[in-house]
Chain A
Amino acid sequence: MKRLLALALLLPLAAAADDAAVLTVKPLLCIIDARTPVCEMRFAIAWEGGEKGYYCVFNELETDALRCWGDAQSGDLDDARTVAETFSYWLNQGEDQPVLATATVDVLRKDSDDRRRRRRTRYVWDIL
């Protein structure tokens, strides 16, 4: 339980790093349901590389890099998009280069294809 609680405190930061490379994306959560089937989000993306160089930020939704920086050690950008599924951003040093850091934007779906999962019980407190 302690491990889970510790994980909970770390999750909101949710920036993965490969040694010195850090990619931070905010926000990291989109909540959807039948009334709001997509999130209109503007992501603030920031990265830091271990040393000066050529860096690019990609995501799973597009084949091309969102943006690349030459001879840079850090950078940031905004990315506005409509979100309906979980996806990731990642930082690398160009197409087909190893991934240095990733950040995943989660989609929490509050409705369900199985409407029994939304039923309320009176037997328990029914908080969750």
Chain B
Amino acid sequence: MRTLTAFLLLSLAPALAADDSPWRLGAALGYGERNNPLVQSDDVPIVLDLDIAWFGERFFFDNGDLGFTFVDNASVTTSFMARVNSDRLFFGRTNTKFVNFDLAGAPLAAEVELTIPDRDYAIEAGVELLSDGRWGFLQVSAFHDVSGTHEGFEIDANYGIGFGRGNWYIEPAIGVSYKSEELNDYYWGVRPGESSEALPAYEAGDGINAQVKLRASYYFSRDWSFALSAEYERLNDEAADSPIVDRDGVLGYFAGVAYRF
């Protein structure tokens, strides 16, 4: 599917490449990984990253996020938003194993099946505020589940700033995300019905994730660049203490060649 999308992107590119186009299209080919904090799970490999976005006067689509802008002035841009929750990503890459020990390392009387509980995608709606200036770029958002999946909410704040030197452009960023008890417990908790000898029940409370990110690009030209990206997200304690989690953070990196259409 990604190959087909990439082919369509390349085929349509000349018609969409104008500077004043509402489209923003890009592709990066290289290698990277994103750790999976879940036990018995595989890391998420990244070989091809596509950037597909369209910005109309009011409506916009940005890589899966949908928005309707209702305030846009010299200071701020504010939009109603809809998105898919990002926590679900990790649950698609888990494995089932038969174990003789529980997750705390204690021996079990007999071998039992250990399966990481499945979790659904949640559609979330909310409001996002953007502001920028010489001081950098600020993004603050609040989202609530509207799909009846976790029925919780999340509040995010991100700050970034760019530095150019020669053909390099470097963008460090920091961010925090408050995750409500309902959201945290849905993804990182273990319901009594899901528990077993190997997997104890667990109830997660609310918490704050913290994130740092560094993105560096060396531009060969206006369109071509070599992109480096590294990101670390510290899970909130309530998620990190879950028996289905064996890492307290998510480390991601990528290096590759990027093209902006």
Contact = CB atoms under 8 A, between A and B. Distances in A.
A and B form one complex: yes
User: How many B residues are at the interface, by size bracket?
Assistant: 35 or more
Contact of A33 (B50, B65, B162): B162
B49 A128 contact: yes
Contacts of B60: 116
A117 B137 CA distance: 11
B23 to A, nearest CB: 11
Given A120-B160, A125-B49, A8 B220 contact: yes
A127 B132 contact: no
Given A36-B164, A128-B49, A122 B86 contact: yes
A1 B259 CA distance: 10
A82 interface: no
A32 interface: yes
Given A124-B64, A128-B28, A29 B219 contact: yes
B94 interface: no
B130 A118 contact: yes
A108 B258 CA distance: 15
B10 A34 contact: no
A115 B130 contact: yes
B55 A106 contact: no
A122 B64 CA distance: 10
B18 to A, nearest CB: 14
A123 B227 contact: no
A114 B257 CA distance: 26
Interface in B154-168: 156, 158, 160-164, 166-167
A4 B158 CA distance: 34
Given A110-B162, A121-B62, A127-B215, A31 B224 contact: no
B160 A128 contact: no
B100 interface: no
Interface string B191-224: 0000000000000000000000001000111111
B69 A106 contact: no
Nearest to A1: B10
Interface in A1-50: 1, 4-5, 8, 11-12, 14, 27-29, 31-36
B63 A123 contact: yes
Given A115-B130, A123-B64, A35 B162 contact: yes
Interface in B91-150: 128, 130-134, 137, 139
B220 A108 contact: no
B222 A108 contact: yes
Interface of A: 1, 4-5, 8, 11-12, 14, 27-29, 31-36, 106-108, 110-111, 114-128
Interface of B: 6, 10, 24, 26-28, 32, 34, 46, 49-51, 53, 55, 60, 62-65, 67, 69, 77, 79, 83-84, 86, 128, 130-134, 137, 139, 156, 158, 160-164, 166-167, 169, 173, 215, 219-224, 227, 229, 252, 254, 256-260
30 contacts: A5-B257, A8-B220, A8-B221, A11-B224, A27-B166, A27-B167, A29-B222, A34-B134, A108-B219, A108-B222, A110-B164, A115-B77, A116-B62, A117-B24, A121-B63, A123-B63, A123-B65, A123-B84, A123-B86, A124-B51, A125-B49, A126-B63, A127-B28, A127-B229, A127-B254, A128-B49, A128-B51, A128-B227, A128-B258, A128-B260
6 closest residue pairs by CB, A with B: A106-B222, A11-B221, A128-B51, A128-B26, A31-B164, A123-B64
